[in-house]
Amino acid sequence: MVPEPAPGGAVIRVVEYPGELNPRGTLVLCSSCRASRDWLLLETRRRVFVRCRCGYEWEEGELDIDFFEENFSYADRSWGDAEQALTDLGFGGEFAGIYFN
Ligand SMILES: [Zn+2]
Q: What is the largest CA-CA distance in the chain?
A: 39
Compute, in angstroms, the gap from residue 27 CA to the centroid of ligand 1: 14
Report the C-alpha gap between 53 and 94 in whole angstroms: 7
Report the alpha-carbon angle 76-80-84, nearest 5.
85
**pLDDT class for 16, splitting at 50, 70, 90?**
very high
Contact present, 55 and 47 (Cβ < 8 Å): no
For the chain, give me the number of helices (H) and strands (E)?
2, 4
Q: What is the CA radius of gyration of the chain?
A: 13
Q: What is the mean pLDDT of residues 76-94?
A: 91
What residues does the ion ligand 1 have nearby, CB within 5 Å? 30, 32-33, 35, 52, 54, 56
What's the chain's length in residues? 101
Compute, in angstroms, the gap from residue 23 CA to the centroid of ligand 1: 18
Confidence check: pLDDT of 87 > 80: yes
pLDDT tens digits for 48-64? 999 999 999 999 999 99
Average pLDDT along the chain? 89
Compute, in angstroms, the gap from residue 97 CA to the centroid of ligand 1: 7
Please give the DSSP secondary-structure letter assigned to residue 46: T
